[in-house]
Each structure stands twice: as structure tokens, then as C-alpha cells.
Amino acid sequence: MAPPKVDSLLGMLTIKLKDDNFAKWSFQFVSVIKGYKLFGHFDGTYVCPPKFVTHTDLGITKEVTQAFIDWESTDIALLSLLLATFSDEAMEYVLGCKTAADAWTNLVDRFASVSKSRVNHLKTELHTIQKGIDMIDKFLLRLKNIRDQLNAAGEFISDNDVIIHGLAGLPKVYAIIRTIILARESSITLKDFRAQLLGADKEIEGDTTILSQNLSALYMNGSGYSSNSGTFGSTISGSTSNPHNHSHIPTTTVGVITQVPYLAPQQLEYPVPPPFYPLPQQQVPFYPP
């Protein structure tokens, strides 16, 4: 078997292996390698052939078999391809591995065989997940990542379970869509669930925009600028009564009722009258008594 063209395969592997994306990375990697019928080097199906030629009369010789040469070339090429898809932290788990099968076994032991405590932590995170300020797509992606990690650990999570936990993590503004989906007699797919949430999200965003515009218009219509006082606000004219005779009638300003206290005549503060300039003496009219 001729060594595969590693460069052409590497262009199909766009995901780098990290500590939190083994399920996504392995799905892409296994799909590409199986497409070229080479995954047997990783799962141990393609066993390494004998290295040296064996003769009936001479026994084992020092001559290397062609089958071993071809197998080793392919296996090293695939191991190099595997390492090219690793992040720096993932590289530590395969250091010292000589074959593709050894490296794959170490990865499965590290990532797929999740400990019981990790499974419990993921289940708790799934039960308590909240949308918060995330967009709908990001919230659903968080749900999917938790589900993928649990599935990789052997804990099957159905689509309906994901939908139930997703609805529980939505804020109160999604109460209507939550009630509609939970009341359905038939099941709903994750694709339809996403479409329903995106539609509800647009309606909520539209209602919020309309409410904001109405509040802004109400504020602008109820506010004015008073040139005398220098502050915003409008006063209802004619609402101020004579403090001497009708002190019990309040003066009214915008939305605020204030009681004008009664002041005795000597306590009233009258505005200072303008200066008085008498007419000339000759112009003063005279009337007989």
C-alpha cells in the first residue's frame, strides 16, 4: 500500500484537537480517514506484518520484507497527519508513541473514557444551564457541546432531553414559546426547535423596539422647556389660587402636586416694583374738590 498524500488529507481536517472538543474533532478525523480506508492503522485492524523475511531452510533472515516497508511508511505518514491536527496541550498525550494505533489508544483513554465525576459534572451543567445574555445560536451550541461530551462518555442524551433542558434555561420572556412546545403531542427535531426559538427571539426584539419607541414618544410629548425657569417641564396655567383665600387648592406642575402654605400678609414676599418716575409738575392734572 502506497503512503497516502498527507498534504491532501490535512486540507480536509480543519479542527484542532483541544481539551474540550474531542467529540467534534474525532468525528471529522475518523470520517476523513475512513473515507480513504486507512482507519485500520488507528484501531489495530491493519496489523503490522513481519519485519524480516523468513525462509523455509534458513529461517529468519535480516532481509526486511516489502510489506513491512509499505506498512511502516503508511503508518508513520498517518501518525504525522494525526499530530498535525493537535493543539499544543493535546500533543502531550501522545508523546513517545511509535505507531498510529498507540497514539489513538492514548487519545481514547484520555478523552473518551471520561471519569464518573466528569460525567456527573456534565449532567449537572446540562440540568442547570441558563441562556443568560447569550444569543440563541450560542446557547444551543453550549447545549450541543455538553451533549456531545456525554455521548462520547457513553451517556446517551436524546434530542427531546436537550429540548427540555434548553426550554428550562430560557428567561421568562420566552414563556409563550415554552408553553407551546411543551404542549405539543408530537416530538420536535432540534432543527425545528432552533427555528422556533429564533422566530420567538425576533418577535421579542420587535416588541422591545416598539416599547422603547413608545416610551420615547411619551417622554417627548410630556416634556417642554420653560424659558422663565430654565428647566424642562410644563405648568398648567390657571391652577394657582390666591394663597390668602384658597390656600387649600394646590398648584399643579407636571405630575407633581405641591401644597402652597398659607402666609400671613406680613410674611408674603412681593416682587420689588419697578422704579416710579413722577410726571413733571406742569403735567399733573388738577381737579377741583
- Which pTM does this prediction carry? 0.49
Tens of each residue's pLDDT in the chain, 289 residues: 445 566 688 888 999 998 778 878 988 999 999 988 899 999 999 999 988 888 777 777 788 899 999 999 999 999 999 999 998 888 888 988 999 999 999 998 887 666 677 788 889 999 999 999 999 999 999 999 899 888 877 788 999 999 999 999 999 989 988 998 989 888 889 999 999 999 888 887 765 566 565 556 566 665 544 444 444 344 434 444 444 444 444 444 444 444 545 555 454 454 555 555 555 555 555 555 5
d(CA 177, CA 86): 41
Q: How many CB atoms lie within 10 A of CB 105?
A: 16
List the alpha helices (DSSP H) in 6-135. Answer: 6-10, 22-35, 40-43, 66-84, 88-91, 100-107, 116-128
Collapsing DSSP to helix, strand or coil, 246 comes out as coil
Q: What is the rounded radius of gyration, in angstroms, for the C-alpha atoms of the chain? A: 42
- Give me the pLDDT at residue 20, please: 75
